[in-house]
């Protein structure tokens, strides 16, 4: 059976990229690798929409989230965490593990944060040094308003925005320089269509000022040595050579496709999936702005999501993700990132219909696939 | 031209392992991945020679070195660092970055540490909580006496041994449980024949006691959540899936070869290289016990090592490493780890002879290759 990965990371890796990474390994202290790394640095700046350096860490996304905190803050600093899901919660855990004080803006799962609330909290408490949030909260499928929140923090000299863009960067527009985002984190196993093991982080000039006064301990994730090394097209510690070679390959592909076309691709696949699910009366989990990275759908309550997920795997070789924590068994999550195209998405929709029918859900069988086809075939 | 990687990490990766990693990716929250991870956990315990859990981190070796420190110690703790090369120096840098006080046992480059000196320092200063050193110091090619140092720390309730075994584990015997090593770190791009991007760490029961009182901040490298997850054959954060699939493949190969046979393989290749270099009157850089992971050779001073290294690359497609810091331009370093066998080693020796001859070195041309062949063909 063919294998379809519709999970919001890991994602399907293009086979030409897998084969690129399967070539005999090269050493990282060579002209050959330096040339690849120079190309990667330029490509990442293009995708991150910035003139600043974008660092490549041998770590998964959580490592880069930790790097965001330890490179900008000091023990006892107070930060505002927007917690509207599993990954918002993680910002809080990282901050507290490093002895930061956290104020929390709790957002109900399935809803986007309200920038006005952020502003109110910052106005009321000038001791807050940073606002930490997700551009796209993968546990709920919600988009938080990055542009609006960055507009609030950029007005304040003493506050930076720290954005988890792990399922955001490359998926939809996050204009790092233009919007005044201060720290932005990405991950290889998302829009970058690579296996997990690499993460990315960019710092604004304002964030580098925070670095200078930051007193949190750091070594492996210290970005100052990484900056000095990046300027010589290398890394302070052994880089994940094969993944970086894969990264160079996908970045070449992205250049050819174009940043805006990438965003449109995700938007179109997401729209088709959302509308298809609505066409068979499945309720979206997102009550405000949905992320183009993934669609979160409430399974028919009499069936539950776990059975749907299991049947997709056994009958069609399709992996989608269950909900996490409070959403476990309630929703299923289908991603639109990675090496997934129009035909895969129609396949996914048709499989969901078939599985729901098999599980006894009463609906207009075929309506979802028709809706997806209509949207995906539109020019 | 064929490409030979004779560097002490990255190393040559077997092509069947590269192809295994090039298969379509699977998600890490699946039964399929859990089965692979269960196999990896067992295989790592076998290579680490321990019943304790061996953790797999998505990070290069330096990340696992940092994990060793932050999981066992507290701010202000005093530690003894054995500094006899670039990586010993790194232990000191990590410790100080985390606010530890460091006592240093400086060892001249090219020499092994003397356990009697370690004992003297610990006797004189009972406030020292840990001894940090390299099993094999890759910058100099020296073996430090792990067994003897562990014997000293295990006698003391308040002191643990923290061993960088990045170019040690799987290369030569480090009997974790038997010798009473407390923390041992390994890396994928060494004896494990994988690309860089994974590192490994094991903790003794004594080290876990240190964990309980440790106050250094940690999140990504916190091993307690990793332990809870490992018991369920998973990891707390997204693992580097493809590298772990490669790891399962090499561990199967190592089981078939046998741990002792692996050690003998490295020992034999190293002996052949060392004796071959002596046969053409090149001076070994190591004045005490050489590591079987790599051979460090002083290039003819009138030529210098950089020219030798450059010619090996351009004429033979062979990458060997230059010295680091004070040894740069003075020595070259040839590794015996990774997917390198008898024929590769003879090729390497013959190439070195050819290059030295071309650079005007006067010697008994052919003597090195003959010596290597004799040793390598011995049963």
Give percent of chain A with pLDDT exceeding 70.
100
**B11 and A25 in contact by Cβ < 8 A?**
yes
**B319 and A27 in contact by Cβ < 8 A?**
yes
Mutation site for A-interface testing, chosen from B58, B68, B243 by largest number of A Cβ within 10 Å: B58
If you average pLDDT over residues B226-245, what whole number do you get? 97
Distance from CA of A232 to the nearest CA of B (A): 17
If you average pLDDT over residues B274-288, what whole number do you get? 98
Say which residue the tokens 């996304």 belong to: A61
**For position A132, what pLDDT does the model report?**
99
Nearest CA in chain A to B322: A29
**B219 and A98 in contact by Cβ < 8 A?**
yes
**B58 and A61 in contact by Cβ < 8 A?**
no
pTM of the model: 0.97
Distance from CA of A92 to the nearest CA of B (A): 11
The alpha carbon dihedral of A325, A328, A333, A337 has a sign of positive
Query: Hey, is B245 helix, strand or coil?
Result: helix
Using an 8 Å Cβ cutoff, are B114 and B142 in contact? no
Give percent of chain A with pLDDT exceeding 90.
98
Q: For residue range B339-358, list pLDDT tens digits in order.
A: 999 999 999 999 999 999 99
| Among the partner residues A9, A29, A93, nearest to B238 by beta-carbon distance | A9
The pLDDT confidence band at residue A154, using thresholds 50, 70 and 90, is: very high
If you average pLDDT over residues B181-187, what whole number do you get? 98
Q: For residue range B18-45, list pLDDT tens digits in order.
A: 999 999 999 999 999 999 999 999 999 9
Nearest CA in chain A to B187: A238
Contacts of B103 (CB under 8 A, 6+ apart): B78, B79, B80, B81, B121, B125, B128
**B28 and A196 in contact by Cβ < 8 A?**
yes
Calpha distance A197→B194 (Å, rounded): 14
Token pair of B317 as six digits? 């497609």
B chain contacts of residue A243, beta-carbon cutoff 8 Å = 195, 197, 240
Distance from CA of A340 to the nearest CA of B (A): 13
**A25 and B12 in contact by Cβ < 8 A?**
yes
Q: How far is CA B94 from CA B87, B88, B101, in A?
A: 11, 10, 11
Distance from CA of B173 to the nearest CA of A (A): 25
Q: Which residues of B114-128 are buried (b: 16+ CB within 10 A; e: fewer)?
A: bbeebbebbeeeeeb
CATH class (in words) of the domain with range B15-256: alpha beta
Q: For residue range A160-176, list pLDDT tens digits in order.
A: 999 999 999 999 999 99
Domains B4-9+259-377 and B15-256 fall in the same CATH topology: no
Distance from CA of B109 to the nearest CA of A (A): 21
Token pair of B243 as six digits? 């590298």
| Among the partner residues B5, B22, B60, nearest to A25 by beta-carbon distance | B5
Summarize chain A as % helix, strand, coil (round to 5): 45, 15, 40
Nearest CA in chain B to A190: B238
A chain contacts of residue B93, beta-carbon cutoff 8 Å = 219
Say which residue the tokens 């290398």 belong to: A234
**B197 and A242 in contact by Cβ < 8 A?**
yes
**B99 and A27 in contact by Cβ < 8 A?**
no
Using an 8 Å Cβ cutoff, are A334 and A297 in contact? yes
Q: For residue range A254-278, list pLDDT tens digits in order.
A: 999 999 999 999 999 999 999 999 9
Q: For residue range B310-335, list pLDDT tens digits in order.
A: 999 999 999 999 999 999 999 999 99
**B97 and A219 in contact by Cβ < 8 A?**
yes
Nearest CA in chain A to B220: A63
Angle, alpha carbons A220-A223-A227 (nearest 5°): 125
B chain contacts of residue A218, beta-carbon cutoff 8 Å = 97
Distance from CA of A378 to the nearest CA of B (A): 30
Residue pairs spanning A and B at CB distance below 8 A: 182
Distance from CA of B275 to the nearest CA of A (A): 26
DSSP assigned state of A328: T
**B25 and A13 in contact by Cβ < 8 A?**
yes
Asked whether residue B11 carries a pLDDT value surpassing 90, the answer given is yes
Question: Average pLDDT of chain B?
Answer: 97
- For chain B, the domains span 4-9+259-377, 15-256
If you average pLDDT over residues A91-117, what whole number do you get? 98
Asked whether residue A303 carries a pLDDT value surpassing 90, the answer given is yes
**For position B1, what pLDDT does the model report?**
87
Distance from CA of A197 to the nearest CA of B (A): 5
**A29 and B321 in contact by Cβ < 8 A?**
yes
The pLDDT confidence band at residue B139, using thresholds 50, 70 and 90, is: very high
A chain contacts of residue B328, beta-carbon cutoff 8 Å = none
**A241 and B18 in contact by Cβ < 8 A?**
no
Provide the H-helix boundaries in B49-81: 61-70
DSSP assigned state of A51: S
Nearest CA in chain B to A237: B62
The pLDDT confidence band at residue A379, using thresholds 50, 70 and 90, is: confident
Calpha distance B61→B188 (Å, rounded): 8
Nearest CA in chain A to B67: A220
Q: What is the CATH number of domain B4-9+259-377?
A: 3.90.1150.10
**For position A1, what pLDDT does the model report?**
87
Q: For residue range A24-53, list pLDDT tens digits in order.
A: 999 999 999 999 999 999 999 999 999 999
Distance from CA of A264 to the nearest CA of B (A): 25
The alpha carbon dihedral of B24, B195, B175, B226 has a sign of negative
Rg (CA), chain A: 21
Mutation site for B-interface testing, chosen from A219, A244, A310 by largest number of B Cβ within 10 Å: A219
Q: How far is CA A75 from CA A72, A280, A284, B100, B214, in A?
A: 11, 51, 41, 16, 17
Q: How far is CA B314 from CA A36, A156, B273, B304, B356, in A?
A: 19, 55, 21, 17, 13
**For position A217, what pLDDT does the model report?**
98
Nearest CA in chain B to A194: B25
Q: How far is CA B198 from CA A63, B63, B141, in A?
A: 13, 9, 22
Distance from CA of A241 to the nearest CA of B (A): 6
B chain contacts of residue A60, beta-carbon cutoff 8 Å = 58, 237-240
Question: Average pLDDT of chain A?
Answer: 97
A chain contacts of residue B19, beta-carbon cutoff 8 Å = 22
Q: How far is CA B199 from CA B44, B63, B159, in A?
A: 11, 7, 24
**B61 and A237 in contact by Cβ < 8 A?**
yes
Nearest CA in chain B to A63: B220
């Amino acid at each position: 059976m063919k294998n379809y990965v519709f999970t919001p990371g890991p994602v399907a890796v293009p086979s030409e990229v897998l084969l690129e990474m399967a070539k005999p390994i090269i050493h990282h202290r060579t002209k050959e690798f330096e040339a690849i790394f120079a190309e990667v640095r330029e490509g990442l700046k293009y995708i991150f929409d910035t003139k600043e350096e974008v660092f490549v860490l041998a770590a998964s996304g959580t490592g880069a989230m930790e790097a965001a905190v330890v490179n900008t803050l000091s023990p006892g600093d107070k930060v505002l965490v927007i917690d509207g899901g599993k990954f918002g919660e993680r910002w809080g855990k990282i901050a507290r593990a490093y002895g930061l004080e956290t104020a929390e803006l709790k957002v109900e799962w399935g809803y986007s944060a309200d920038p006005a609330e952020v502003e109110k909290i910052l106005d009321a408490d000038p001791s807050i040094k940073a606002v930490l949030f997700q551009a796209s909260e993968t546990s709920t499928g919600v988009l938080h308003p990055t542009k609006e929140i960055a507009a609030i923090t950029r007005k304040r000299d003493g506050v930076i925005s720290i954005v988890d863009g792990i399922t955001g960067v490359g998926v939809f527009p996050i204009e790092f320089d233009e919007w005044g985002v201060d720290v932005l984190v990405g991950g290889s196993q998302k829009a970058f269509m690579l296996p997990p093991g690499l993460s990315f982080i960019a710092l604004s000039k304002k964030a580098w000022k925070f670095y200078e006064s930051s007193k949190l301990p750091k070594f492996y994730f210290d970005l100052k040595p990484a900056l000095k090394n990046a300027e010589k097209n290398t890394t302070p510690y052994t880089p994940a050579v094969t993944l970086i070679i894969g990264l160079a390959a996908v970045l070449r592909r992205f250049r050819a496709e174009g940043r805006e076309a990438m965003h449109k691709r995700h938007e179109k696949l997401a729209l088709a999936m959302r509308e298809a699910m609505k066409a068979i009366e499945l309720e979206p989990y997102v009550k405000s702005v949905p992320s183009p990275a993934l669609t979160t759908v409430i399974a028919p309550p009499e069936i539950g999501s776990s059975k749907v997920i299991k049947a997709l795997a056994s009958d069609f070789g399709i992996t989608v993700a269950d909900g996490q924590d409070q959403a476990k068994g309630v929703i299923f999550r289908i991603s639109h990132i990675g090496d997934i195209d129009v035909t895969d998405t129609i396949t996914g929709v048709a499989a969901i219909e078939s599985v729901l029918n098999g599980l006894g859900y009463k609906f207009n069988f075929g309506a979802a696939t028709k809706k997806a086809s209509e949207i995906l075939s539109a020019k």
